Structure 1
Amino acid sequence: MHLCTAEEWATAQRCGAHRPPSLTGVGFVHLSTPQQVHLPANRLYAGRTDLVLLRIDAARLASPVRWEPGVPGDPDGMVFPHLFGELPADAVIRVTPYLPSADGSFAPLI
């Protein structure tokens, strides 16, 4: 899964791929599993109501995915998938809004 704004997703659809700033900054696209997506959502996007969840078919990715540690404060031993290349729009198989609760926090999906 990947989190982005609805506007960023619309741009990706027009361009054929999503190229977030992290791709040029740290060299990869941040991904998450359904069990961990709420962690970066709360860390980076608390209170935002313009987010969408992109569900990805990994078989449609041309670039490698590596499982690497997150940031301090994440549960011990947790690793996140990082896509070392752009996210092709045709690898996204489902898009759903991801809205926070009334207090602005995002609940775990599972």
Structure 2
Amino acid sequence: MANFLYRLADLADWEQAQRTGFFASADLAAEGFIHTSERQQVLETARRYYAGRGPLVLLEIDENALAAAGVRVEREWAAVRQEHFAHAFAPIPVEAVGRIWPFSPGPHGTFALLPALRDDA
């Protein structure tokens, strides 16, 4: 059974990944890992860190594909959010990214979970 992780990304970073075969964002260089979220964490992550940015895409990453590619993923406690978050400790192969959606705030600047990811979908 697939377990998916989600990453909000600047479109330019995803376009670069298309050219190189690997997604690597600034947090990998700065912190040594790529931040990802579980589905239920996406909206709060968007609200806290992506307001006013764009264009964005939401990447759905197959955690099993990361393991098969040798990318270590660890869930680490984030005290500021009082939750565990999955961190990928290497560039993410584009083959591990299954679905990609444009991700933009609505007319009032708030984000909404895509219909394909809601529990009622």
Q: Is residue 110 of structure 2 the alignment partner of residue 105 of structure 1?
A: yes
Q: Which has the higher helix share?
A: 2
Distance 1:56 1:85 in 2: 13
Partner in structure 1 of residue 55 of structure 2: 50
CA contact (8 A) 1:48 1:104 kept: no
Whole-angstrom CA distance in 2 between matches of 1:60 and 1:45: 26
Match of 2:28 in 1: 23
Q: Alignment partner for residue 33 of structure 1, among 30, 35, 38? A: 38
The corresponding residue for 2:17 is 12
Q: 1:84 aligns with which of 76, 89, 93?
A: 89
Shift in Å, 1:26: 0.8
State the AA in 2 paired with 1:23.
L
Taking the aligned partners of 1:104 and 1:71, their CA distance within structure 2 comes to 26
Q: Which residue of 1 aligns with 2:77?
A: 69
TM-score, structure 1 normalization: 0.87
Q: What displacement does 1:94 show?
A: 0.5
**2:21 and 2:93 in contact (8 A); partners too:** yes
Does the CA contact (< 8 Å) of 1:53 and 1:96 recur in 2?
yes
Corresponding pairs, count: 107
Residues 61-100 of structure 1 deviation map (CA, whole Å, 9 limit, x = unaligned): 121111112252x2x3x11111111111111001001111
User: Take 1:89 and 1:105, find their aligned partners in 2: how far apart are those partners?
Assistant: 28
| Cα RMSD (Å) | 1.5
Q: What residue ranges of structure 1 are gaps of 5+ in the alignment?
A: none
2-structure distance, mates of 1:39, 1:71: 15
Does the CA contact (< 8 Å) of 2:13 and 2:24 recur in 1? no
On the 8 A contact 1:48/1:100 being kept in 2, the answer is no
